[in-house]
Amino acid sequence: MTVPLPSVRLASSSTAAPPPLRPPLSSKERIARNQAKRVQVSRDFRTDTITIPTDELYELMKNASRGDSVYDEDEDTIELEQRIAEMAGKEAALFCVSGTMTNQLAIRTHLHQPPYSVVTDHRAHVHISEAGGIAFHSLATTNAVYPRDGHHMTVEEVLDECVVDDDIHVAPTKLVCVENTLSGMVFPQSELVRLRSALDSFSIPLHCDGARMWEAMAKTGMSLSEACAPFHTVSLCLSKGLGAPVGSILLGPKDFIRRATWFRKQFGGGIRQAGGLALAASVCLDTVLPQLPRTHYLATKLARALAAEGVQLDLPTETNMVWINPEPLGFSMTELQEAARAKAGITLGAPRGRVVVHYQIDERAIDELVEVVRELKAQRTEEARQWEEQVGLEIAEEIRRKSRLYAEGQYDGRIEGPKRSLPAYGKR
């Protein structure tokens, strides 16, 4: 008996494709849109991932290799990994989509059998900005260090948080993570060298979240291999300071990278035709890395000008970040954000007063931001004068006193983690 085949309805050639929701943009419109974006980005101080790929970069990406990098068959990806591993003085490297992925892969690969703990700075990206990844991917608890100087963890502070005995109530420390730069501040290299040798005596490995390691190099003149020397493993962002469209590199010993590649697959992070992205990162290494000193110059210029107006600087500006608090002048970060947008088309992050200078920032935007602060200050000073006249208080004198203080380069306060968290009980 022959079983009749199920009837299949073939799409008739007369069935028209559904109309697009809106007509596609013409090439001319796309070019105009991207040019407008370039201008917008040149006045956007929220972060340094906001930079956009240039036409020249896309032009070069056209000729990238087209192999499958999950099969490890893409020449440009292999070349980028080898190039950075060599620059960093590490055995091997792995190209991934994000810094969150390279950090989490590193942590997952370092840790073998819970229970265990990871020691890190309380402000570290791995601790507060990776969606709880340490607990989720690696089942580890995190012991946070609160550096007394508000700048970096000392060896003693790290060791205080490391658990090295076999008390069954506590989770032994199996990894320490540091971040360089952290909030734009450079971790002193001599302290890192001391830290590595102290941890070696407990066989605790040291990982560096070097998302902005390039900034530390530009600041100190260190080579990548000097900067990476104290660490077993390092992750480096390609989309931050360097301005590549995507990517981060994980560096470490050969066996370690082999195991991390396994986890990358498990995380769903293998990239098939990665060549264009890898080539873009390689080109950015050549063309953007040399531009970082300019971003540091601009950040310093901005910090000085704002301090001279009386804006409080919460942390020292060592690289490309300026941490500002305009409250001594009588207005909040959110008010400054709104005024900067309205008066100068400038984008700022708020309420956290982090101002980040990236390589596509237009110097004029720096000057205009200072001008916006001046205008708001004048407005508030005038309001304060009127109020003083009315109630006879010395608000204006206080503003002048603070202005003098910050103009002298003094800063106070410190970053206390994300503002969105509740105030901690028993805070140290």
Ligand X SMILES: *Cc1c(COP(=O)(O)O)cnc(C)c1O
Residue 369 within binding range of ligand X, rule CB under 6 A: no
Instruction: Please identify, using beta-carbon distances, which residue of 13 and 421 lies nearer to ligand X.
Output: 421
Instruction: Please identify, using beta-carbon distances, which residue of 76 and 130 lies nearer to ligand X.
Output: 130
| DSSP alpha helix (H) spans, 89-188 | 99-110, 125-128, 133-138, 155-161
Beta carbons within 8 Å of 180's beta carbon, 6+ residues apart = 186, 187, 192, 208, 209, 210, 212, 213, 216, 227
Instruction: Please identify, using beta-carbon distances, which residue of 64 and 211 lies nearer to ligand X.
Output: 211
Which member of 109, 120, 248, 295 binds ligand X (CB under 6 A)? 248
Least Cβ distance, residue 290 to ligand X (angstroms): 21
Footprint of ligand X on 202-221 (CB under 6 A):
209, 211
Instruction: Check if the beta carbon of residue 287 is closer than 8 Å to that of residue 51.
Output: no
Least Cβ distance, residue 49 to ligand X (angstroms): 6
- CA dist 410 and 412 (Å) reads 7
Least Cβ distance, residue 325 to ligand X (angstroms): 21
Residue 318 within binding range of ligand X, rule CB under 6 A: no
Beta carbons within 8 Å of 193's beta carbon, 6+ residues apart = 229, 230
Q: Which two tokens stand for residue 241?
A: 């300071």
Instruction: Please identify, using beta-carbon distances, which residue of 237 and 384 lies nearer to ligand X.
Output: 237
Beta carbons within 8 Å of 351's beta carbon, 6+ residues apart = 332, 333, 334, 419
Instruction: Check if the beta carbon of residue 242 is closer than 8 Å to that of residue 214.
Output: yes
Instruction: Check if the beta carbon of residue 178 is closer than 8 Å to that of residue 153.
Output: yes
Least Cβ distance, residue 296 to ligand X (angstroms): 17
Instruction: Check if the beta carbon of residue 187 is closer than 8 Å to that of residue 226.
Output: no
Please name which of 325, 310, 306 lies closest in space to residue 384, comparing C-alpha atoms. 310
Least Cβ distance, residue 405 to ligand X (angstroms): 30
Other CB atoms within 10 Å distance of the CB of residue 37: 12
Instruction: Please identify, using beta-carbon distances, which residue of 69 and 235 lies nearer to ligand X.
Output: 235
Instruction: Check if the beta carbon of residue 223 is closer than 8 Å to that of residue 327.
Output: no
Which member of 107, 159, 186, 237 binds ligand X (CB under 6 A)? 237
3-state secondary structure of 413: coil
Least Cβ distance, residue 130 to ligand X (angstroms): 7
Task: Lay out the site mask for ligand X across 8-37 (x = CB under 6 A, - = otherwise).
Answer: ------------------------------
Instruction: Please identify, using beta-carbon distances, which residue of 161 and 209 lies nearer to ligand X.
Output: 209
Residue with tokens 């990098």: 69
Least Cβ distance, residue 277 to ligand X (angstroms): 13
Which member of 74, 76, 81, 179 binds ligand X (CB under 6 A)? 179
Instruction: Please identify, using beta-carbon distances, which residue of 187 and 411 lies nearer to ligand X.
Output: 187
Total number of residues that touch ligand X (CB under 6 A): 11
Instruction: Please identify, using beta-carbon distances, which residue of 99 and 243 lies nearer to ligand X.
Output: 99
- CA dist 352 and 328 (Å) reads 15
Footprint of ligand X on 78-137 (CB under 6 A):
98-100, 103, 125
Least Cβ distance, residue 5 to ligand X (angstroms): 51
- CA dist 90 and 99 (Å) reads 18
Of all residues in the shown chain, the one whose CB is closest to ligand X is 99
Instruction: Give contact residues for ligand X (rule: CB under 6 A).
Output: 98-100, 103, 125, 179, 209, 211, 237, 240, 248
